Amino acid sequence: MILRDIDLDLPYKENKHCIEELINKQGMEEKDAIRLDYELNWQKKRMRFRDEMRCIVGLYLRYLDKFQTQETKKIIINCVEKLNSNKIHTFDGFTEVEVEFDYGAYKKLANEEKKKFLLEKLYEGVIKVAETYEWDTPMLKMAYQSVIESNYKNEYVWKQKASPSRKYTAEIFCQHEIDTYVVTMIIKTRDTNELVKSEILFIERPHELAFVQHLGNLMWISNTEVKLLNKHNKKKWQVCIE
């Protein structure tokens, strides 16, 4: 089994005061009051956090590459104010673990500091799981150190393609940040690697569910025009160098 994903999550914490008010003043049933409390006071915060953590998770996993385990294919790290349990729970290839996380302090940080905070909590959760299942940890630590050495920058070339004339190369350059995912078309000469054109194609939410669908096929339609198609071939971004 390969460890394919790591998730940091903010499990729902009920706002008792809000729930009581909804029950007493609006006559709601408890289950409806809890659902509304989640929608009003937690859902937006949780979704934003799940977007923000993906840049560091993606970078760590890229350095970790194909890490073999016997127990799990995904680690879910629940970020809580106070630990409810030190136990590791695994079911059907999914492992859950808790780490203490001060969300109030986290949200006040600048984006670069958020990346550092997220990496530490990610690594804390991963090591807890590793120690429980007696995994070899050098690869886990090496990936952690590589993220630090990269200055927490999750940037990469997704795909490259030479023009029909073999004169130019187009590449899709991706920058995965805390709050954005930026995709740029970069065209260079093949012989000298000289920059010919650089154009931002789109800026998307920093979660794979939002941006992966846009990364379909890169193709030249002439010696001077290149386009990126989304996965369903229904949307395109086209760049001309003339």
Report the alpha-carbon distance of residue 35 to residue 240 in Å, rounded: 50
Model pLDDT, residue 119? 98
Note if the pTM is more than 0.85: yes
> pLDDT tens digits, residue range 154-182?
999 999 999 999 999 999 999 999 999 99
Model pLDDT, residue 156? 97
> pLDDT tens digits, residue range 78-132?
999 999 878 899 999 999 999 999 999 999 999 999 999 999 999 999 999 999 9
Domain boundaries, the chain: 5-149, 154-240
Q: Helix, strand or coil for residue 49?
A: helix
8 A C-beta contact, residue 206 and residue 52: yes
* Amino acid at site 186: I
